[in-house]
Amino acid sequence: MTGSEKADDATDEVAGAEGPDLIVAYLEMLAAERGAAANTLAAYRRDLDHYLAALAASGRDPLDTDAGEVRAYLADLETQGLKAASAARRLSCLRGFHKFLYAEGLAETDPSAPVGGPRRGRTLPKVLSVAEVDDLLRTARERAVAPQAENATGGERRRAVRMLCLLETLYATGLRVSELVALPRSAATTKQRYLVVKGKGGRERLVPLTDLARAAMREHLTHLTGDGPFLFPSDSESGHLTRQAFARDLKIAAAAAGIREDRVSPHVLRHAFASHLLQNGADLRIVQELLGHADISTTQIYTHVLDERLKSMVRDLHPLMDDPAESGTAPV
């Protein structure tokens, strides 16, 4: 059988597939052609399972539905209290799915194309101040040393050293939490002052390492046993520290630093990394590269932190902002 015949057979197989099989075909395409991460694929599967169940309840086939049905589904989500940002993400998933079905010749039209997205207000990210991050890091350093007391266990010492390493590395690099917890053990022994990180879609980028982060990594490495592949090993299914476990321990560290637990998460520290760079004059394009954003529009949410700096720059540098009394000139 030729390659062309195999491809035709594969297309015929998908064409005769039920709803769940269509989802599998779509997710396989995302993984193979776009390098979608496992978390992304799992989220898309949940969204599409929910969507196809709604279509089935209405007696509609995903290969033969219309824009009105898609709009009705989104409207029903709104009545269920789904936030605009979540509804927009759900619509993006549906559009990709229907576009795939249309491109493969499985459906005659793309019913999601004429459907407009929900109105989304501009949500500013939670950000800790520089002073608050300093407090968090200082407390983590103190806790990494304090467990040497006689009543402390070796496990407490190791967890404190690990938390300091996580915090120093996250604030130094702005990594996504999924990238951070899955760092290889070799990251702690590199002689380079940067890490090569593979982010969403398999895109690689360079992120800098501060001396404090490198020192924290080396100290953490001395407390590891075995020779596993991860810098933050765990008994979890993945073999490394989970995002949920880090988020839980981070809230404990925040409370110890006198910061409300609801104001702190791994993603908030990523926001702090970006916002503090911009406050100190970093170029938005550079921050985009460091964060691993494919589109600069994603990074532009951080521009709210530039408002005060821009006002100060105009006030200090614009020639017409001088005080007439001080400059010796009078208004005309």
Active-site residue list: 176, 200, 267, 270, 293, 302
Distance CA 305, CA 274 (A): 10
Please state the separation of Cα 126 from the chain's center in Å: 14
* CA nearest neighbour of 77 among 68, 63, 87: 87
**Strands 194-198, 204-208: parallel, antiparallel or unpaired by DSSP?**
antiparallel
Distance CA 133, CA 167 (A): 9
Phi, psi of 307 (to 5 degrees): -55, -50
Which stretch of DSSP H or E encloses residue 176?
none
Distance CA 323, CA 45 (A): 62
* SS3 state of residue 97: helix
* SS3 state of residue 195: strand
Structure tokens at 181: 């917890």
